[in-house]
Amino acid sequence: MRREIDYSLARRSIVRDYRSGVLNRLDVCDAHPELVRAARNLGRESDEKCPICGAIGLRYVSYVYGDALKIGNGRAVATSAELRKLGKAHDELKCYDVEVCLECTWNYMIRTFMVGRRVAG
C-alpha cells in the first residue's frame, strides 16, 4: 500500500476560485521568502505554466520530515537520489512536494508521501 496524498483536486478548486474572483492574488501568491529561496536554489524546474500569472517554469521543492532526522528535520531535498538515500537510511520519513512560481510567488503543496525502510515501495 503506497502512502500518498495527492492535492490536485484541492489545487484546482483554489485556482478556480481565483479565476472567478472569489480569491484575489494576495490570497494565493503568498510564498514565504525561504520557500522562494529554496525553489530558486534547489527546486526542480518544469515546463508547467503558473496557474496564476502564466509564467513558464514552475519549480518543485521537496521537504522531508522525520523524528530521526533531528536537526535536519524539515530540510529541502534537492534530488530524487538524495531522497532515496535518506529513505534507505531511515525507517520512515514524510515528504512534501510543493510547487512554487518565482514570478508571482504562487505556491501549493501538491502531494505528500512516505519514504523509508518501513514503507512499501
Helix (H) or strand (E) holding 80: helix 80-89
pTM for the model: 0.87
From first to last of the 121 residues of the chain, give the pLDDT tens digit: 458 999 999 999 999 999 999 999 999 999 999 999 999 999 999 999 999 999 999 999 999 999 888 888 889 998 889 998 998 999 999 999 999 999 999 999 999 999 999 885 5
pLDDT given at position 109: 97
Q: Can you state the percent helix, strand and coil of the chain, rounding each to 5?
A: 35, 30, 35
